[in-house]
Structure 1
Amino acid sequence: MSSSNDTTAPPSDMKITINPQRAAALLQNLSSVQQRVQSAWSSSLSPGTSPSTAAAPVRVVAVSKLKPASDILALHHPAAAAAASSSSSEESASTQQSQGQGGHDHFGENYVQELVEKSRVLPKTIKWHFIGGLQSNKCVPVARDVDNLWAVESVDSEKKANLLNKGRAERNERLRKEHGQQAMDENGLEEKLRIFIQVNTSGEESKSGLDPDSPELLSLARLIRDDGRCPNLHLQGLMTIGAIARSKATTPETENEDFITLRSTRDKLAADLGLQNKDELELSMGMSEDFESAVRLGSSEVRVGSTIFGERPPKKDAKVLEQTEQEKN
């Protein structure tokens, strides 16, 4: 869209400063993760199968919670980082440039307010995943206010699904009024919000998610897939956050029980839903400490944060924009 209502760009006066050294380190970290994913996927192929030269069919979600917008922009728009690096003085790279430069698209956030703030200052070409614990009172705001929200991965009740459907409907109505249906389609602003149902595979009381054997799992899946009841949602798959102890104990020679459980739960759910292909339901499993094990067990998506971005600051110290950027704007 090339009007003043352009949904692919943030406000034209918004500038985010990219540190070239930081950008180079982030890009190297992401590349390393992608290479490790590729290697793990290749090793998972059946004996006798020739290693594929194609990219591994595994999505990498860069978990950027508590990290500044400049880190995300550096990965999403490498050309901006390169421009900053080639400049003799520190310059601000405009976020209004669309991605289109071989950058990374998928980013994950854990806190609704932080996600909303970042979505307002970063390019609309980013595909946001909400992966944190989701309270019912946050469902409508996150689905309504983040135009380019690609998926919510922590749904564990019909109440939350219905509220997300309501919020997405309000978002769709607003965007149609502002830009028109054709412009939405042309710019990839999809009407349906992808949903992952969270499954508590470890049985830990501290973890959210449905029990793998809970009858609620099937009823929730049917609700999300029902165009009559949730026309603005799409069931993308299942998600789990495995037990830390199991992740640390996993080696290339052993298998993580949480991932085995999620895979078998997905297979049963697909059969109960009458799906011809179980892979119609994705598996979102694997984080920084265990993503290679997850890939070997069939993960469709891994959520990697600290391995890419480094250690996170305390929540009270985290800022979407650096102080100098806030002063400029």
Structure 2
Amino acid sequence: MTDTDLKIDPQRAAALVSQIKTVRERIAAVANGRDVRLVAVSKLKPANDILALLQQASPPQLHFGENYAQELSQKAELLPRSIQWHFIGGLQSGHCKSLAKIPNLFSVSSIDTEKKAQLLDRYRGEYLSSLSSSSSSTTITSPSSPLPGKINIHIQVNTSGEPSKSGCAPGAATLSLCRTVAALPNLHLLGLMTIGAIARSVATTPETENEDFLCLREQRDLVAAELGLAPEELELSMGMSEDYEGAIVAGSSEVRVGSTLFGARGPKSEAKIKV
């Protein structure tokens, strides 16, 4: 299957392009010249929508986020390798092998245990070794399909302390996991991520402070000091459809926007990879 098998509905594409233009303008309005990565959260949305934003948005939208490992793997097989995939869902140990084999996997943003980090590192190393030893890797090393490398990692921090939320506890647990990831050869510690309390997100505006964002920034600064880095060398991934403008004002390097771009999602049982 290739992207040529996907049909793009002109009206749907026009709506998506208009919506992403608006989101980009709102990001630029509060970013004060900083380069803030927009991750279009495409979970449960068809590959046709992703292809429309890749081909028709200006500039092309390259970064897309998925919550389910199987859905991400299927879409990665179907869509062009120029897409930069982000796995942003709850990571299970059993997902690590399949995710590590996605060549254009840009990041995993939900690492919260050493075991998951070590498994992802192990499987990525095995995958890269298999590529380097393959005699049929000409397409892999072509300019349009570069050789895969390390996977970027955001450590997920449970800044709100909610039992239902994944993530490391702030403090010693976060510092320890960051040290582990920084030492693994096939992973790159990109920064920290949080999904804060819903009530705080809803109340967040560019003029108000969000306790989850402040906590993540403090944790980032502690980790940077521990690793001998400048704070700016570690990203903050925080902010979604409800609160991304406030997150950017608070220093976020990356925002994850889904429903504002793609519209409301239906039940997972009704989702289709392509339409």
Q: TM-score, normalised by structure 2?
A: 0.94
Does residue 1:235 correspond to 2:189, yes or no?
A: yes
- Structure 1 partner of 2:116: 160
Following superposition, the deviation at residue 169 of structure 1 comes to 1.4
Match of 2:173 in 1: 216
**Can you list the C-alpha shifts for 1:281-322, whole angstroms capped at 9, x where unaligned?**
100000000000000010000000000000011000000012
Matched, 1:127 2:117: no
Give the stretch that moved more between structures: 185-194 or 288-297: 185-194
CA distance in 1, matches of 2:199, 2:141: 48
Question: What's the CA shift for 1:181?
Answer: 10
2:75 counterpart residue number: 118
**Equivalent residue for 1:264?**
218
C-alpha deviation, 1:189, in angstroms:
3.4
| Aligned partner of 2:207 among 253, 266, 270 | 253
The separation in 2 between residues aligned to 1:78 and 1:267, in whole angstroms, is: 39
How far, CA to CA, are the matches of 2:217 and 2:254 in structure 1? 13
Is 1:244 the counterpart of 2:198 in the alignment?
yes
Q: Tell me how far apart the structure 2 counterparts of residues 13 and 295 of structure 1 sit (CA, whole Å).
A: 33
How much does 1:147 deviate? 1.6
Q: Is 1:303 equivalent to 2:256 in the alignment? A: yes
Q: After superposition, where does 1:285-304 map in structure 2 within 5 Å?
A: 285-304=238-257
Q: Which residue identity lines up with residue 129 of structure 1 in the other structure?
A: H
Q: Check whether the contact 1:175–1:184 (CA below 8 A) recurs between aligned residues.
A: no
- Trace 1:145-184 onto structure 2 (pairs within 5 A): 146-176=102-132, 177=134, 178-179=136-137, 183=141
CA RMSD of aligned residues (A): 1.8
Query: Secondary structure in 2 aligned to 1:212?
Result: coil
Structure 1 residues 184 and 267, CA gap change in structure 2 (3 angstroms): farther
Say which SS state the counterpart of residue 141 (structure 2) adopts: helix
Contact 1:247 1:289 in 2 (8 A): yes
Q: How many residues align?
A: 273
Structure 2 residues not aligned, in runs of 5+: none
Report the counterpart of residue 97 of structure 1 in structure 2.
none
Question: Larger C-alpha radius of gyration, 1 or 2?
Answer: 1
Alignment of 1:1-150 (within 5 A): 11=1, 14-42=4-32, 52=33, 56-78=34-56, 102-144=59-101, 146-150=102-106
Q: How does 1:190-201 map to 2 (within 5 A)?
A: 190-201=148-159
> Counterparts of 1:220 and 1:181 in 2: how far apart (Å)?
36
- Residue 112 of structure 1 contacts residue 142 of structure 1 at CA under 8 Å; is this kept in 2? yes
Deviations 1:36-95 (CA, angstroms, capped at 9, x unpaired): 1111113xxxxxxxxx5xxx310000000000000000001118xxxxxxxxxxxxxxxx
CA separation in 2, counterparts of 1:182 and 1:141? 18
Gaps of 5+ in 1: 1-10, 43-51, 80-100, 323-329
Residue type matched to 2:150 in 1? Answer: K
TM-score (norm 1): 0.79
Instruction: Could you list the structure 1 runs, at least 4 aligned residues long, displaced by more than 3 angstroms after superposition.
Output: 11-14, 184-190
Query: Percent identity of the aligned residues?
Result: 56
Shift of 1:252: 3.2
CA distance in 2, matches of 1:123, 1:208: 31
